[in-house]
Amino acid sequence: MRFGFVLPNNWGIDDARAVADLASEAEQLGLDSVWVNHHVVNIGYIAERLGDRPYHDALTMLTWAASRTSSVRLGTSVLVMPYLHPMSTAKALATLDQLSGGRVIAGLGVGSLPEENEILGVEYERRGPLGNEFIEVMQALWADGPADHEGDHYRMRGVVAAPIPAQDRLPIWIGGSGGPAQRRAVAYGDGWHPMCSVDGLASRMVGFGTALTTAGRDRSEIVVAPRIDVSGVPDAAAVAAWTDAGADELIVGAAGRDLERHRAALHHVAELID
């Protein structure tokens, strides 16, 4: 089992540097990856949790973390595609991949907060098709040569948005637990990144297997990496249960505004590695 740790850029902790610097601590402790959260405005359940406290920008935090590390992988859990534009996002992720020496994982999702969609001018009900096109545009821009795309949301012909990623294929992990996310993962992704319990993962793996078969893909081609709270891995037996349920990696985070609580969670995960 491989382990990642979620940096608490979404918990209203004032010291952004201290939050990002947990990445170097994670690397020293032997974790495989670090992850950042993404929302744009404090609204809905984000506002209920944070009020006017900071929710630090995902890619800025991840870039700082990249500068403080040398080997740990760098992921987004997850970028909400309807809040972004695929051309600028493709450039930002490719640039970060170049800066970090090919360590980026693009975790992508379509979101679940209608209020934020509304304030950002994105139709919530159409976020799924838009997300699919978003990925298609980015993958076209990351390939060699000028990119073309003709869709309902984005159109381009002969577009170059260099640089391309350092990796031959920048991994895309699709966030979300339901059928649409599973199908999006097998259609476009290198990983499936749900949020669920261990029993929830076991039950969802049946549908995921069906989606793989329908798409003609092999299970070995896609990483299954649930995002879980640290309480979901109290000991080695819990890790074994996640393995049996179908997980290849566990992306672990903690809740709360106390940075030391997150550091304790990080050290707990490191003990599970040992």
Q: Give per-residue pLDDT as tens, 28-86.
A: 999 999 999 999 999 999 999 999 999 999 999 999 999 999 999 999 999 999 999 99
Q: Which residues contact 178 (CB under 8 A, 6 or more apart)?
A: none
Neighbours of 116 (CB within 10 A): 23
Percent of the chain with pLDDT over 70: 100
Element spanning 250, H or E: strand 249-253
The CATH number given to whatever domain includes residue 185 is: 3.20.20.30
> Residue 274 pLDDT more than 80?
no
The rounded distance, in Å, linking the Cα atoms of 12 and 260 is 14
Domain count, the chain: 1
Domain region containing 257: 2-273
